[in-house]
Amino acid sequence: MPTLIIGASGLVGGALRNEFPDATGTYLRHAGPGLVPLDITDAAAVDALVARVRPELILLPAAQPAVDRCELDPDESERVNVGGTGNVARAAARLGARLVYFSSDYVFDGAAGPYEVDAAPCPINVYGRHKLAAETLVRAAVADHLIARVSGVYGYQPDGKNFVMALARLGAAGERMRVPSDQWGTPTYAPSLAAAVRELAASGHRGIVHPAGPDYLTRIDFARLAAEVFGYDDAFLVPVTTPELEQPAARPLRAGVDNRSTQALLRTTRLAGAREGLCDMRRCMEAAA
């Protein structure tokens, strides 16, 4: 099936490329072999690429996912996360393509996670509000859509900035890492997410799915588990509360998404637990070293 991955140079996009090796993939700032440039805020460019590739399936992990940056520059966040998503959704609708949009547990307020697919969203920061606005646009414009909400995505990326890659770098150097002890989530292993999305995209299922990991834990417990799996003394991890971090954007503390209804839709993919994902990530890092 002709497939277009918009945002293939990112963490999720890179994992999707492994599952959809024949897909056309795009980048914005980080070029990669075989990728084509695209800025989703440019509606004409989106239309031109979609008209050229004529995808039956569009996967859209492209976003501005830096939560504090979105808080400090809400106009940019709106342009990319809402406007850009709208451009892709309209292009998908015109072509009759199936669209998979990647969203976040940050559409919730974090009072009572992990959240099921039918829980009522109530974002508490700019990023969350814009991801929710984008979900609404996708639902309105594209009949054949999936909205895949995930939480704390991690995976091997050579120059990657995701939480576990940062932890591995700091742990190896023995440098202190401040980690919130009061933020809960369902860490999502990128390759496992991509495998689930391949299976869900091929199914007729429509609507919201939660292809996240099954484990519900705090950032500091996840970090300590990662340190153990990577063989580091966890003394470099410094637990702090969210207020101590003084981040610009409020954080939903008990966030995370409940993956059980989504796992039940999957016949062959088992969404990886935290230890399993981290062990696989370690193998990938060792193989690349």
Q: Which residues carry out catalysis?
A: 127
Q: Which residue is nearest to ligand NAP (CB)?
A: 10
Closest distance to ligand NAP from the beta carbon of 64 (Å): 6
121, two tokens: 């969203």
CB 199 within 8 A of CB 264: no
Distance CA 167, CA 117 (A): 30
Closest distance to ligand NAP from the beta carbon of 260 (Å): 18
For ligand NAP, give the closer residue by CB, 136 or 174: 136
Distance CA 40, CA 6 (A): 8
Closest distance to ligand NAP from the beta carbon of 91 (Å): 13
Give the three-state DSSP class for 207.
strand
Distance CA 225, CA 211 (A): 21
Q: How far apart are the first and last CA of the chain?
A: 34
Residue from 21, 22, 29, 118 touching ligand NAP (CB under 6 A): that is 29
- Name every residue whose Cβ is closer than 8 Å to that of residue 4 and which is 6 or more positions away in sequence: 23, 24, 25, 26, 49, 50, 53, 55, 57, 58, 59, 97
Q: What share of the chain is helix, strand, coil (3-state, %, to 5)?
A: 45, 15, 40
- Name every residue whose Cβ is closer than 8 Å to that of residue 132 and which is 6 or more positions away in sequence: 103, 107, 121, 123
Closest distance to ligand NAP from the beta carbon of 232 (Å): 21
Q: Which of residues 73-92 bind ligand NAP (CB under 6 A)?
A: 80, 84
Element of type H or E holding 94:
helix 85-95
For ligand NAP, give the closer residue by CB, 233 or 274: 274
Closest distance to ligand NAP from the beta carbon of 272 (Å): 15
Q: Phi then psi for 159, rounded to 5 degrees?
A: -110, 25
Q: Which of residues 172-201 bind ligand NAP (CB under 6 A)?
A: none
Q: Which of residues 54-73 bind ligand NAP (CB under 6 A)?
A: 61-65
77, two tokens: 């966040």
For ligand NAP, give the closer residue by CB, 17 or 235: 17
Element of type H or E holding 36:
strand 36-37
For ligand NAP, give the closer residue by CB, 98 or 210: 210
Residue from 19, 77, 100, 102 touching ligand NAP (CB under 6 A): that is 102
Q: Is 24 in the site for ligand NAP (CB under 6 A)?
A: no
**Torsion angle in degrees (nearest 10) through CA of 122, 127, 132, 137:** 160
Residue from 13, 123, 211, 256 touching ligand NAP (CB under 6 A): that is 13
Q: Which of residues 196-225 bind ligand NAP (CB under 6 A)?
A: none
Give the residue among 43, 11, 15, 10 at the shortest CA–CA distance from 28.
10
Segment contacting ligand NAP (CB under 6 A): 33-41, 166-174, 228-236, 240-248?
33-41
Binding-site string for ligand NAP from residue 116 to residue 155, where x marks contact by CB under 6 A and - marks none: ----------------------------------xxxx--
Q: Is 271 in the site for ligand NAP (CB under 6 A)?
A: no
Q: Which residues bind ligand NAP (CB under 6 A)?
A: 7, 9-13, 27-30, 38-41, 61-65, 80, 84, 102, 104, 150-153
